[in-house]
Amino acid sequence: MNVGLIDVDGHSNFPNLPLMKLSAWHKKRGDTVRWYNPICDSFPRPPFDRVYMSKVFTFTPDFPYYINAKEVIKGGTGYSYPDGGKPLDPEIEHIYPDYSLYGITDTAYGFLTRGCPRNCDFCIVGKKEGLKSRKVADLSEFWNGQKNIMLCDPNLIACPDWKDLIQQLIKSKAKVNINQGIDIRIMTEEKAKMIKRLRVDSVHFA
């Protein structure tokens, strides 16, 4: 299968995790995967068998060009607010991401938990992922020795498994960025001591 990918938000600042997982899954099957280029890949070139379009943000304009493909699959919160649409199949969701898609070599990206009990008006996580923080992966699912870890969890320390997950981050000895912040309302001395053992430039609170 000849597969094309479109990061509708643009991939200059932050990689699209679902596209990296889709790329890894298809390559594992022996398929050819590359970015879709509207200039080079348009008619009269043979169409892609499938093109995936992923959009995270609702404010991002849609891809404005013709897509030369037999099948086009769109996904992400940007297309289906607030629920995010159909989730990835489990075997794709839990595959090690294809970081080579973005040329990433020293940073791992992923989620250890999903969901958040806060249900803040400005945030879609409660509607999309549920009002309970729950473990969805171990660190080894998306980290394999990289120097940096970009953790995208919405409320890590609200998860019942927070202690085990933070211990995994400590054991990695990688520099950790918890980019959605830490929930100060459920901070305890025990949690603070664990977080202090992480390699971080700074800790910000939500």
Residue-wise pLDDT for 25-45, tens only, equals 999 999 999 999 999 998 889
pTM attached to this predicted model: 0.95
Question: For the purposes of burial, counting CB atoms within 10 Å of the CB of 133, is it exposed (0-12), middle (13-18) or buried (19 or more)?
Answer: buried
Q: Kindly list the domain boundaries of the chain, sorted by start residue.
A: 2-96, 106-196
d(CA 84, CA 75): 7
Largest CA distance in the chain: 64
d(CA 79, CA 9): 11
Class of domain 106-196: alpha beta
Averaged confidence pLDDT in the chain: 95
* pLDDT, position 44: 86
pLDDT by residue (tens digit) across 152-183?
999 999 999 999 999 999 999 999 999 999 99
pLDDT by residue (tens digit) across 104-153?
999 999 999 999 999 999 899 998 999 999 999 999 999 999 999 999 99
Report which of residues 198 and 12 the model is more confident about. 198
